[in-house]
Amino acid sequence: MLMRNVLVAPFLLSLFELNWKCNMSAGHRRLDIEESGDVTIAKFVDKKILDEGNIQIIGNQLFSLVEDDGRSKIILDFSNVEYLSSAALGKLITMDKKVKAAKGKLRLCTVRPDIYEVFAITKLNKLFDMRDDLEQALEGM
Amino acid sequence: MSSIEEFDVTIPSATAKGREIQEQIVGGMESRGYAPRDVFGVRLALEEALVNAIKHGNKMDPDKVVNVKWEIDAEHVRVVIEDQGEGFPIDDVPDPTDDENLDKPGGRGIMLMRSFMSVVEYNESGNRLTLEKRTDDEDGDEDDD
């Protein structure tokens, strides 16, 4: 019995690790991550950030960058984003708080005019550091 | 004068079902040549309204439903969303742009609806919402309270 458990345990651990990686694999990945020096550029994959379940996943992946990976300089690239609900804004606010608590910097870039209007209406363009494009967002990070 | 189409659908308290309704309404707008900004605004307002009805009105109760009636022609789209909740005090909704509310994660849905729609009206109890977008409403902001 003991010998069987010893043989089975590593196999189960491998399955667990594979499952964890699959959860962050292409099928569930909502962010494309790139590095520029010590700056993390996280580009949203989805055009429509509306679905509550999807927003929850996106939020978790954003927070993981700070809480699990220890990244402190993060740029969120909105190039692909065509629609954004207020629930998504909530996750961004929480992300901003986490980055500030970690004494880091968070910037948003390449936000389309319709989406920028949503930030302006809600005055969140005053809360977030928003830049026109990635080049401007990288300056002085 | 363009023909008007009317719809009356009842959905369970599931946000995915709300999204199906959203796609039907937005699809109707796009097929009638509504401006992209109007389509954007209505989609956003519908998302906020339907999530409010399902999450806050019906508290995601699977035994409760949301009724959605809408009419559409080339000049306007009007949507009435009614949940089976107890409603809420409409006049007590805090301003999310006040300094003390700016970093709160919620509370922006109604403000966004009012910014993009021509009409946003609740019934007295707050469980029935009427949204309307008119093509002759250039600035998109709601004129009345």
Distance CA B63, CA A107 (A): 43
Contacts of B112 in chain A (CB under 8 A): 86, 118, 121-122
Q: What is the mean pLDDT of chain A?
A: 87
| B69 in contact with chain A, both atoms CB, cutoff 8 A | no
Nearest CA in chain A to B20: A51
Q: Which of B44, B96, B103 sits opposite A85 (nearest CB)?
A: B44
Q: What is the mean pLDDT of chain B?
A: 91
Matching residue, tokens 């692909």: A80
Distance (Å) from the C-alpha of residue A54 to the closest C-alpha of chain B? 11
Rounded to a whole number of angstroms, the distance from the CA of B6 to the nearest CA of chain A is 26
CA distance A65 to A42: 9
Q: Please enumerate in sequence order all residues whose Cβ is within 8 A of that of B65, keeping only pairs 6 or more positions apart, or say none.
A: B10, B11, B12, B13, B58, B84
State the pLDDT at residue A8: 62
- Mutant choice from A48, A50, A58 vs B, greatest count of B C-beta within 10 A: A50
Q: What are the residue ranges spanned by the domains of chain B?
A: 5-134
Domains and CATH numbers, chain A: 30-138 (3.30.750.24)
Whether this model's ipTM surpasses 0.85 comes out as yes
A86 touches chain B (CB under 8 A): yes
pTM of the model: 0.85
**With pLDDT > 70 as the criterion, what percentage of chain B qualifies?**
93
Residues of chain A with pLDDT under 50: 13, 16-27
What are the tens digits of pLDDT across the range B68-121? 999 999 999 999 999 999 988 888 888 999 989 999 888 899 999 999 999 999
pLDDT at B8 over 80: yes
Class (C level, CATH) for B5-134: alpha beta
